[in-house]
Amino acid sequence: MLYLLGVVIIALGILISVSLHEAGHMVTAKLFGMKVTRYFVGFGPTVWSFQRGETEYGLKAIPLGGFCKIVGMTPQDDDVDPADEPRAMWRFAVWKRTIVMASGSITHFMLAIVALWFAAIFMGLPNPNFPQTEAQVRQEPSVIALADCVVVENVQRACTPNDPPSPAAQAQLRTGDRITAVNGAPVSTWGQVLDVIRRAPTNTPARIDFVRDGNPQQVQVPLASVQRPPLGDPSGPVSPVAALGVGVSIQTPGMVKYSAIGAFGATADYTGEMAVGTVQALQRIPEKIPALWTAITGGERDADTPISVVGASRLGGEAVANDAWEILVLLFISLNFFVGIFNLLPLLPLDGGHIAIAWFERVRTWTFSRLGRPDPGRVDYLKLMPVTYVVILIGGAFTLLTVTADVVNPITLFSR
C-alpha cells in the first residue's frame, strides 16, 4: 500500500507540474494580450470542460500532460480567425514571445526552488561535506560500525553461517565506539585505523584503546586474516592482511536542516549543483543508450542510466515504502529541474526551439537592416518540419527505450 502511495504521489506530482507548465504559458500570454483559446489537463477525449471568457478550460481522459492553445504561435498557422490576427503570438515583440515560451520552464524552476527552500527547513538538504570518495571516508573520525562477521575473500556480500565471527564483536566492542589507539599507535581518523590494523600481525591479540560514552577503555582483540587489495587500488593484487571486523560509522550528517534565512543560501547552492549535474546528465545521455539496451536484453541495469516517468514513479514507491520521504521530495525537485532545462534545448518542438527561432529572426532582421537589405521576414516553420519530425522520432524512441528498461529491469534504491 505504501509503495502504491509513493507511485501515485510522484505520478500526480509530474502531472501537476506539467499542468502548471502549460498554465505558465497561458498566464503570460494573456498578460501580454495574446489570445489563448484552450487550456486542458491531459490528452484524448474531453471528460469535462467549461468556457470562461475567450478560453475553454477542461480535463481530458488520458492524464499524461496538458496543453494550451495560443493563437498564431507561428506565421504558418492556418486556423487564425482574421479578427484575431493582431493578437497572433508571432506578431508580438521577440522579448514577449521569449517570456511566454520560457515561462513553462520557469514554472518548473520555481516549483523546484520553492520545494527546495521548504525541504531545507523541514527535512534538510544533502550535506555537501558528506563523504563521497574513499579519500573523504578515510578522513572521517575513527568511530566504528560493528560487523557481524569477517568475509575472508575479497567480495562484497552479506554474512553467512560459514563466515568467521567478527573479532571486534567477540571482544564486545560496539557500534559508536571511537578507537583512539591500536597497539599503542594513536589514531583519530578511519584511514589511520585501517592503516594500523592492516599492518598488525594476524591471529595475535591487538591492544585496542577506545572511548565509549566518554569513558576511555582498552581491550585485547585477536585480529582475523582476510584477502584484500592494497588501499587505494581496489583492482590491485590481493594479499593476506589483518582485519578487526568493523566498518566506519559516518559521523558527518547526510542531511542538514537550515533556518528560514539560512535556507535561501542552501537553496541557491543546491540549485547551482543541480544545474551543473543536469547539464552533465544531458551530455551523457547518448553514451547511456547502449547501457539501456543491455539492461533490456538481460544485463545489469546501470544506476546512472536515464529513467522515464515509469521509473520515477517506481522510485517514488520504493522511497515511501521504506520511509525515505526525503528521497521522494528530492526526486520531485530534480525531475522538475531536469524537465525545465531539457525543455529549453534549442530544438523543435521544444519551447527552446521556438525561442531560438524568434531570436534568429530578430538577429537576421537587424543584420539585414545594417546591410541596407530588405527584411527577409519570418522563418518558414513548414520547411523545418522534417527536422522536427526527426527530433520527435528520436525522442519517442528514447522514451520507449527508457520505459521498457524501467519495466523489465528497473533501477532500485533498496535491496530486495
Q: What is the CATH number of the domain that holds 212?
A: 2.30.42.10
CB 217 within 8 A of CB 211: yes
Same domain, 169 and 240: yes
CA distance 398 to 403: 9
Evaluated on CA atoms 290, 292, 298, 303, the torsion sign reads positive
The three-state secondary structure class of 228 is: strand
Query: Among the options 22, 56, 273, 300, which is catalytic?
Result: 22
CB 164 within 8 A of CB 150: yes
Q: Is residue 41 part of a domain?
A: no
Domain C-terminal end among 202, 217, 248: 248
Same domain, 154 and 237: yes
Q: Is residue 385 part of a domain?
A: yes
* Gap between the terminal Cα atoms of the chain: 17
CA distance 104 to 22: 6
pLDDT digits (tens, 9 = 90+) for 167-224: 888 889 999 999 999 999 999 999 999 999 988 887 778 899 999 999 999 999 888 8
Q: Is 376 exposed, middle or buried (0-12, 13-18, 19+ CB in 10 A)?
A: exposed
Same domain, 85 and 154: no
pLDDT band at 1 (very low <50, low <70, confident <90, very high): confident
Q: What's the structural domain count of the chain?
A: 2
Same domain, 341 and 361: yes
R_g over Cα of the chain: 29
Q: Is residue 311 part of a domain?
A: no
Q: Is residue 368 part of a domain?
A: yes
pLDDT computed for residue 114 by the predictor: 96
pLDDT digits (tens, 9 = 90+) for 76-86: 877 888 888 89
E strand residue ranges, 199-256: 205-212, 215-222, 224-228, 239-243, 246-248, 255-256
pLDDT computed for residue 375 by the predictor: 83
Same domain, 85 and 197: no
Q: Is residue 181 part of a domain?
A: yes
- Residue 67 pLDDT more than 60? yes
Domain C-terminal end among 193, 225, 248: 248
Q: Is residue 13 part of a domain?
A: yes
Domain ranges, residue 240: 134-248
Q: Point out which residues pair with 4 in neighbouring strands.
A: none
pLDDT band at 415 (very low <50, low <70, confident <90, very high): low
Number of Cβ within 10 Å of residue 49's Cβ equals 13
> For residue 190, which amino acid is it?
W
More confident residue, 27 or 80: 27
Domain C-terminal end among 248, 275, 294: 248
Same domain, 23 and 113: yes
pLDDT computed for residue 127 by the predictor: 87
Same domain, 205 and 102: no
Spatial CB neighbours of 201, under 8 Å, sequence gap ≥ 6: 223, 242
Which is it for strands 205-212 and 215-222: parallel, antiparallel or unpaired? antiparallel
Same domain, 147 and 179: yes
Same domain, 6 and 115: yes
- Residue 416 pLDDT more than 60? no
Q: Is residue 220 part of a domain?
A: yes
Q: For this structure, is 22 an active site residue?
A: yes
Backbone φ, ψ for residue 75 (5° rounding): -65, -20
Q: Is residue 336 part of a domain?
A: yes
